[in-house]
Structure formats: structure tokens, C-alpha cells
Chain A
């Protein structure tokens, strides 16, 4: 069983919800990421989404765009993101790591080379924002053959047919984008999310993590309870951005927020 499947099974068994932070690899500096990942695990997160910096992050809002820009300024890349994951794995065999990014770096590396490299780095899932299942079959097959879960997105306007398609194509979990917009947007409506989740549940057994627009512990708890977990990204990265001259402070603030969310989720 994959680390992701095992993790979600354990969470279901213990009646807990998954806390899934997103940070961009190499933001603001390459040496910040691995210690930050370990600190997040200590704060109680279940899965880490590690953003692969890309020059043209079309689905991201300004906060994650700037995170990519800071990382790229340090020559961060898909290859170096995999090195970071490898480094993390040396001292953490438990926490699933999901790569999240755009297709072109993977195309450039080549699907098979990428799948092999991801396997060596013990990556657990790959979410490629601009690779819908229709175009993603070749890559998904290579990943699945190596025990890596291809993770797909669903959106508020996704039809039943799309949900079924993701159910067939994906594994690990489904990432439900809770609003029409880019990452970090601010108009989340929990009633809408609740309605949509009923439709999604009717068409897939996969766990559903919900993200986009989650900013605080209370929202995180509400959202997580609707699904199986909550993804929080831009809010964490804002704390890096606000403390670029004091990264220890950035790290502490992120840990504090995640710990408070963990507490809210478990209470």
C-alpha cells in the first residue's frame, strides 16, 4: 500500500482529518525547505505538498507566484526539488510527500526519467496542475507502475462525468479546489463546498482534500470536516514573505499556525 493510502486509512480509522501544508521548494532559499518540512511534521501535519517552482504558474495567485520567483532566483528546479525530497526522506520515512507543479519541467525531463527520479526520491504523489487526465494517461501509468499516486484536481464547476474520470485516473486522494480562482483567493463559501462534496462523494471513494482560500484554523476545521483533509498554502507562504530577513521567525510562525490548526482539527 502507498504511503498516502496508508495515511488516509489510518486517519479514517482514528476519525481524524488530514492537515496538508503546501510550500514551494527552495523558497526563499534552498537550505530553508528541508528543516521547514521537518518542523511542519513536528507541528502535526499528515502529508506535505512540495511545490515545484515554475516560471509561469498560471493557476497561482501572487503569493505563490512570488514564492516561485524567489526559488528560481536561486536556480531551483524540478531536479533540485527531488534532491530536497531525498534529503527530507533520509530522516523521515513516514510522512507522504506530494510534488505539485506544472507540466513543462516534467516534459523537459521526460516522463520516464521523471517517474524513475521521483521513485528514487521516494515521492508519494504527483499533482500536475495543467495536466488533465485526458492528456495525462501516459505519465499516470508510469507513476502508478512505480507506486506513485497521480493526484488530480476537481473544481466547483466539475460535472459528475469529470468526478468519475478523476476517480478512474487518480489515486491517493483528490484535491478539491474549493473556489473558482487562483491560489490564495479570498471568497470561500463553506455551504457551496458542502453541496459540492456530496456530489463528489457520490462518484468516488477516494479521500478528498480541500484547498484554495483557507486562511485560519476555524476555516480549516470547517473545511476539513466537510472532506477528509485540508490544504493550506498561500497563508503559510505569506509568513515566509513577511519575514524574509528573519527566516527563523517565519518558520516559528508557520509552525505555530499549523499547530493551532492541528489542535482545532482534533478537538
Chain B
């Protein structure tokens, strides 16, 4: 099935997943966006501008770093880290916001809105808005505003208005609800930069296409460094944008195993987690059909994770499809295990990962020892841990 992978279909379906499930007022702007996305992703001038921005502003290509000491310590596969943490603003999120902001400019939109969980996408959006001189409003759950206050300050410095969302569980899903409400009210001048591979079509495909540079570079860099393809890819999955960015260019390379790591929070059995692919069910939320955390009545359940960026009850529809077809495997890592990953990478390699990425590190610690020393794992180090210093210090009982 992966020989010729050609998802999604014209209306944004990945098998039964994806699609366009929105209120009628959003249909025209979505059609307008879809037309612009198809036009400009084939436009050599647009691509040239995007490539130049990725090189000169974001700092791409990001290195593929052989974590030799950590690999030796774990005693199995050779671990390569895709250093998205070294991008401008500190995570992979900027790959997408640079692209969408260029689209917004081409479409003549003067106002940008975004939702954010950990604040990485919010910062990446505020950054590109500042650069292009566009008005920017970022919606963020009030729980996340409290636990990611450094990023809130960064966004404000960059000139964005940060709106703390008090409804529902006061986290990422509620920020998305509020951003959709803003969009429906201000459709004429506003471009909604969704930060992950979810939402109505074309967002899942478009965000994937902007993030796929991660996988394209990884493939080439792995060839250059080792002369062959990796054996496994590992990435954390909240909405799933860094994972799909790494996976997508490898989907047709069937020898490459793919592992998406969901947040198990306090543990899947406790029900306090954010792992819809591992423990959820299909449903419709935020414009697409996908796996969700919902109860028997279809009401969305509150999620839990130490990392704000993974604290989301849905997941990109393409991941739902990759799960059902068996092309990718979805696993989960608890808060406690993620912290082990956080400390391991910090002390073994001198790299402090974001708590989101720490989930991928923790799974790598389980996977690598089961593989041979001549095998290769590429792990997406999707963001740096600076934003989590307060959370970590607090856990250790230290006041900063």
C-alpha cells in the first residue's frame, strides 16, 4: 500500500480520516486557502522565497547529530538526533509558520491568529508576524499560560497579543476552539496559522508539506553520513507535526520503521493521559475525523501530560491512517519516563530537550538496546528545553 503513497484525496481524506467538518461560515475561507495552497506550492517564486527564508532566517538545514556517547551507553543502535531544537525560536514549529505566513502575505491577509499549547507555535507565529509587520493574536489555555510563562513573555515581546482562554480544560484544545471562534468572526482579513497537522483540510496536508523538510534533510544527511537509510524513526506525537515532518518522506521506504510516541501522562491505565492513538477512538473534532479522547457519549475528555505541547485530545488524521494501515507504530511514554529521557540527553550529550521531545528520547532508550550496533535510529529532537526550566526547577524544589 505504501509503494505509491498519495494521501490525502482531493477533499482531504486519509482513508476515513481527515475531511472538512466546520461550520458553514468557514467553508469560503477554507476554499480560498486550499486554492492558494495548491497554487503557491507549485509556484517557483514562492518556493524560492520559502527556501531562502528557511536557510537564512530559520537556519536550515538543521544538523543530523550522531549521539555517539548515548548510543554507546545504551548499547544498541546508533542514535542520530535531528536537531530541530537549533532552529530559530527553538523548535520545528517555525518551518510551518514561515510557510503559512508567506501564504498569508500572498493572499493579502493583514491579521494572523494562532493557537498554542507549550507556546512554541505561538512564539514561532509571533516571530513571523513581527517580521512581516502583521497583527498577531495568539490563543493559549490559561493553564498553559501559567506553566509556559517564559513563552508568553516572548510572544508579548514580539508584539503579539496573548489571549488566555478560560473555557473548558483551559489547555490546547480550548485555545483551538477560541481561535476558530475568532476566525469565524474575522474571516475577511484574518489568516489562521494552525500549528499542527490537524484541523480541516487543507491544514493537515499543508502543515505536513511545510514540515516535510525535516524528513527530506534527514534522509539526505543519513545517506551522506552512513551511506544508507535509517532503520527506525522516532518522534513525539501531540497533534503530530514534527512526527509527520520526519516520517512523510520515508513512507514509501518500507524498510524504515516509524514510531510515534504519545504522552501517557500518569499512565494509560489511570485514564490521565494524552494518547488518543494508543487508547482513544475515532471521532470528529476541530474540523477533521481522527482518533480522539472521548467518553461513551462523544464528549471530549480532559487530557494530561507534563508537556503542554502534547496535552491535546486529538491527533492529525494522517497519523490515524498510518496507525490503521500499520505503516507506523504508536507507543506511549509516561511523565516519569519522559523525565528520564530529559535527564539522559542533558547529561549524556549536553543537549537539554523540550519536555515534548523528551518523550521521543525516552522511547529511544527502550528501543535502541533492542537493536544491533550497526542499525540506525533517527530521533526528532523537535525543540529545546529552555522553555521548561521553570517546570523542571519547580519539580526539583528549586526557586529560580
The residues of A with any CB-CB pair to B shorter than 8 Å are 53-62, 65, 69, 72, 77-79, 102-109, 129-132, 134-135, 152-159, 162, 177, 180-182, 185
Contacts and interface: CB of A to CB of B under 8 A. Distances in A.
B297 A59 contact: no
Contacts, number: 119
Nearest to B28: A157
Contacts of B24: 132, 152-155, 158, 162, 177
Interface stretch (B268-276, B277-285, B316-324): B277-285
A198 to B, nearest CB: 18
B287 to A, nearest CB: 7
- The CB with the most chain B CB atoms within 10 A, among A53, A59, A104, is that of A104
Interface string B296-320: 1111100000000000000000000
Contacts of A56: 168, 173-174, 177, 285-286, 300
Interface residues of B, number: 38
B22 A77 contact: no
Contacts of A77: 297-299
A107 B283 contact: yes
A182 B25 CA distance: 10
Contacts of B284: 102-104, 107, 130
Contact of B184 (A55, A162, A180): A180
- The CB with the most chain A CB atoms within 10 A, among B184, B186, B188, is that of B184
5 contacts: A105-B297, A108-B296, A132-B20, A159-B28, A181-B184
- The CB with the most chain A CB atoms within 10 A, among B174, B180, B297, is that of B297
A105 B20 contact: no
* SS of B interface (majority): mixed
A61 B20 CA distance: 21
A104 B294 CA distance: 9
A158 B27 contact: yes
B130 interface: no
B292 interface: yes
Contacts of B27: 132, 155, 158, 162
- Going nearest first, the 10 A-B pairs with the smallest beta carbon separation are A108-B298, A105-B298, A77-B297, A155-B25, A153-B24, A181-B185, A59-B23, A55-B299, A104-B298, A55-B300
B294 A108 contact: yes
B22 A180 contact: no
Given A72-B299, A77-B299, A108 B23 contact: no
B46 interface: no
A158 B286 CA distance: 21
B366 interface: no
Contacts of B281: 108
A132 B22 contact: yes
B331 interface: no
B37 interface: no
Given A61-B181, A104-B285, A107-B282, A130 B22 contact: yes
A53 B185 CA distance: 22
Interface of B: 11, 19-25, 27-29, 167-168, 173-174, 177, 180-181, 184-188, 281-287, 289, 292, 294, 296-300
A150 to B, nearest CB: 14
Contact of A131 (B21, B286, B294): B21
Given A104-B284, A130-B287, 12 more contacts: A55-B300, A56-B173, A56-B174, A58-B180, A69-B167, A79-B297, A103-B21, A104-B294, A132-B20, A132-B21, A158-B24, A180-B186
- The CB with the most chain A CB atoms within 10 A, among B187, B299, B300, is that of B299
B25 to A, nearest CB: 4
Nearest to B292: A104
A59 B300 contact: no
Contact of A55 (B168, B180, B289): B168
A102 B289 CA distance: 13
B17 to A, nearest CB: 12
B20 to A, nearest CB: 7
Contacts of B25: 59, 153, 155-157, 177, 180-181
B187 A180 contact: yes
Nearest to A152: B24
A111 to B, nearest CB: 12
Nearest to B299: A55
Contacts of B286: 56, 58
A78 to B, nearest CB: 6
Given A107-B282, A107-B284, A129 B23 contact: yes
A93 to B, nearest CB: 28
Contact of B283 (A57, A104, A156): A104
- The CB with the most chain B CB atoms within 10 A, among A53, A55, A78, A106, is that of A55
Contacts of A153: 23-25
Contacts of B29: 157
A72 B22 CA distance: 22
A206 B282 CA distance: 34
B21 A130 contact: yes
A233 B354 CA distance: 45
A61 B285 CA distance: 17
A172 B28 CA distance: 24
